[in-house]
């Protein structure tokens, strides 16, 4: 009888420890992510206030010459658009009026057919709104990473940043 009581106490203690640990870890996670979620919420609010965007689907962060928040969404006619938010203000473009993500991908693959594209996202380089294409390519048994920049409006090639070999 005594051993059953002790076994029951250990089970209750185990459940209590697991529940407490779960609560502490979830609060820690919420505290860490809270600032990031607030930044995304504020970016969406600025996009709605400074453009014709009425629905946001995603928010990215671009860190170039200056930090820029990129908000993807649609206007009230369900036309896709992208909004850049920086300290300098809000800039919006309809995706149909610019160089597309797929065109940026094709431009890189035309230039470097063996490239493995890691990421394509809108950004800002100097005063230009751009597509940033991050890709890697094998060179003499090593891998080199590149950033190519194309103007968002017309797809004109701007620059390539080459990172050191790895």
CATH for 155 = 3.10.450.40
Domain count, the chain: 2
Per-residue pLDDT of the chain (166 residues; tens, 9 = 90+): 566 777 888 888 888 899 999 988 888 887 777 777 888 888 899 989 888 899 999 999 999 888 999 999 999 899 999 999 998 889 999 988 888 999 999 999 999 888 899 999 999 988 899 999 999 988 888 888 999 999 999 999 999 988 876 5
In a shared domain, residues 58 and 132: no
Q: Give the domain extent around 43.
A: 2-95
Record the tokens describing residue 50, joined without a space.
């400074």
In eight-state DSSP terms, residue 52 is S
Helix (H) or strand (E) holding 95: none
63 shares a domain with 24: yes
Among 95, 121, 146, give the residue marking a domain's end.
95
Query: Which tokens go with 126?
Result: 């100097």
For residue 1, the model assigns a pLDDT of 53
Q: Which of 95, 121, 141 is the last residue of a domain?
A: 95
Instruction: Report how far apart, in Å, the C-alpha atoms of 149 and of each of 2, 62, 69, 103 are.
Output: 73, 13, 17, 12
Beta bridge partners of 94: 81
3-state helix, strand, coil in the chain (%, to 5): 40, 45, 20
């Amino acid at each position: 009888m005594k051993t059953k009581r002790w076994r029951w106490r250990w089970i209750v203690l185990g459940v209590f420890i697991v529940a407490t640990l779960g609560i502490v870890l979830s609060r820690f996670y919420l505290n860490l992510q809270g600032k990031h979620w607030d930044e995304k919420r504020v970016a969406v609010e600025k996009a709605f206030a400074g453009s014709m965007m009425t629905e946001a689907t995603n928010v990215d962060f671009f860190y170039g010459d200056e930090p820029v928040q990129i908000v993807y969404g649609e206007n009230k006619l369900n036309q896709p658009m992208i909004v850049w938010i920086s300290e300098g203000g809000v800039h919006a473009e309809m995706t149909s009026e610019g160089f597309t993500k797929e065109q940026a991908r094709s431009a890189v693959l035309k230039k470097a057919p063996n490239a493995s594209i890691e990421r394509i996202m809108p950004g800002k380089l100097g005063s230009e709104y751009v597509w940033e294409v991050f890709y890697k390519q094998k060179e003499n048994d090593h891998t080199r990473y590149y950033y190519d920049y194309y103007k968002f409006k017309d797809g004109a090639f701007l620059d390539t940043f080459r990172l050191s070999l790895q």
